[in-house]
Structure 1
């Protein structure tokens, strides 16, 4: 199956490995996001790459769901990182004596 190339809305890719493109301004959030996604899909292998996320051992039927989960996890990680100082300041203000 490794020699089969699929062309769809994600562009050309092999049937058992795809690259999910992540915009450059979101790439700094990949590592935290990949931990979450790996827990959702323990049978798949996720690797951050220059273009985004490489996903190995994926079946064609799972591509859309995995892509959706990866993009959602990256966005959630971005929100988490960007709001952490605000949440810490709020907790400090509430618990300060």
Structure 2
């Protein structure tokens, strides 16, 4: 008889200011949690059969989302700074 693990599901509400960053945030998050299934609709749904704290999954996904937003919004500033330091 096969091992039938129970699936655990949680929903992450993503505000409109973060929607543009979902795909890249999923890449960041999936690196840390490769066994989590992710579905994007009106909200983001995380499904896992691993024994993890769902609050930790939500926190990690939100952190990946925030990091991606910060990265994207500061990329031009960092590029300009590096070009200035390197005298390009």
Structure 2 length-normalised TM:
0.81
Q: Deviations over 1:21-80 (max 9, x none)?
A: 1111111111111111111111111232222x1112256752100000011110111100
Q: Which runs of 5+ in 2 are unaligned?
A: none
Distance 1:84 1:35 in 2: 18
Does the alignment pair 1:86 with 2:86?
A: no
Aligned length: 84
Question: After TM superposition, what 4+ stretches of structure 1 lie above 6 angstroms from structure 2?
Answer: none
Q: Is the 8 A contact 1:31 1:48 kept in 2?
A: no
CA RMSD of aligned residues (A): 2.1
Structure 1 length-normalised TM:
0.74
- The structure where strand makes up a greater share of residues is 1
Distance 1:81 1:68 in 2: 20
Distance 1:59 1:19 in 2: 16
Of 47, 72, 77, the residue aligned with 1:56 is 47
Q: Which runs of 5+ in 1 are unaligned?
A: 3-14
